[in-house]
Chains A and B, each alone.
Chain A
Amino acid sequence: MQGLIAILLALLVLAALAVSASRKLLPAVIIFMSYSLVMSMVWMLLQAPDLAITEAAVGAGITSVLLFIALKRIGELERDLEESEEEIHLSSARGKQEDQSDV
């Protein structure tokens, strides 16, 4: 049990660092969501089921929904999508160039 709690706590620290290190906002919100889920598992293991239910519903559910809506409002979701599309475009264009150079 102690080992499991230690692993989950390490995951929490990792998730917290990953949120601050991620450059795009959408992945940051999703990592934050997973942070809340791991936290609710920790509450469960610490024998606080009340807190576990609330953390899962509020932390993973409602907070992330509100953050997603806020991202949509500031146009960040579209920007993320466009950027990833551009990346795909660029990489495929690069692939074509390489193909041509092979020929």
Chain B
Amino acid sequence: MYKGTRIQTLYNLLSIVFTILLIGILLYTVSELPVMGDALHPANNEVAAHYLVHGARETGALNAVTAMILDYRAFDTLGELCVLFVSACSVYILLRVDAGRKEEEVEALDRRYEPWNDAILSKAFLFLVPAVFLFGIYITLTGHLSPGGGFSGGAIIGAGLLLYLNAFGLEKTERFMNRIRYRRLNCGALGFYFLAKGYSFFVGANDIKSVISVSDQGNILSAGLIMPLNVCVAIVVSTTVYAVYLMFRKGGFNI
């Protein structure tokens, strides 16, 4: 609109100045960060040491990262899951196709077309998709024993869902993943997470004996609540990925 005018030149100059300023501020902040492994820096206090020394015994999780995000700071993770849910909702509000809209108009938007499935894709994904799902489930279930957990496993399962959708079409995918199931899975996972972790924090803070025990380190059913919570995280992440993709592609679920 302003191309070639004085305002455009001013914009360009201001954007260059702003970028240089931002780079300077960020570099200054980086120079203030502690040196890696600096024992005297206040960021290296007894909290981190406690997590690393007692984490495995208190939570049963051999993976210290999982012990932190799903046990000591589990409500942080609940907030992140709610952010994912809210982002899926806002994408839905922005991109959904209104029921009252004219048919031709919607077709022009390319939203009635099924994701196009190709013969080579569907044959190759017949072998690839089960492996992707299996890998995602493995990463989710062993989140407390090895690197990984609900977020990475859920992202892999979500990518598997996208592959399945593109290989076999929407009709086949909606047999197991539709609007109702999306809503139930998401609300169920978030509700279970909140109730389970709320119980665990309540019990822990009041010194009541909990029914959830932590034992047998290294066993898959060892770390008390961490494995079920990882499954909840994976459900929310994978269904959010799938729903956002479908919203972008078609403007909503069919069923």
Contact = CB atoms under 8 A, between A and B. Distances in A.
A84 interface: no
Q: Which secondary structure characterizes the binding site on chain A?
A: helix
Contacts of B151: 54
Interface residues of B, number: 19
A66 B245 contact: yes
B241 A54 contact: no
B137 to A, nearest CB: 14
A53 B152 contact: yes
B214 interface: no
Contact of B148 (A50, A58, A66): A50
A72 B113 CA distance: 13
Contact of B248 (A49, A53, A61, A73): A73
Interface residues of A, number: 14
Nearest to B237: A58
A6 interface: no
B248 A69 contact: yes
Interface in A34-54: 49-50, 53-54
A89 to B, nearest CB: 26
Nearest to A68: B248
A65 B148 CA distance: 22
Q: Which secondary structure characterizes the binding site on chain B?
A: helix
A70 interface: yes
B158 A62 contact: yes
A93 to B, nearest CB: 29
B250 to A, nearest CB: 10
B131 to A, nearest CB: 14
B155 A57 contact: yes
A54 to B, nearest CB: 4
A61 B245 CA distance: 12
Given A49-B147, A53-B148, A61 B159 contact: yes
B249 A69 contact: yes
A54 B248 contact: no
Contacts of B65: 50
A66 B147 CA distance: 26
B70 interface: no
Nearest to B136: A57
Interface in A59-78: 61-62, 65-66, 69-70, 72-73
A15 to B, nearest CB: 17
A61 B135 CA distance: 15
B156 interface: yes
A50 B233 CA distance: 15
Contacts of B148: 49-50, 53
Given A65-B245, A70-B248, A50 B155 contact: no
7 contacts: A50-B63, A62-B158, A62-B159, A62-B162, A62-B241, A72-B110, A73-B110
Interface of A: 49-50, 53-54, 57-58, 61-62, 65-66, 69-70, 72-73
Given A50-B147, A62-B155, A72-B110, 10 more contacts: A49-B147, A49-B148, A53-B147, A57-B152, A61-B159, A62-B245, A65-B245, A66-B245, A69-B248, A73-B248
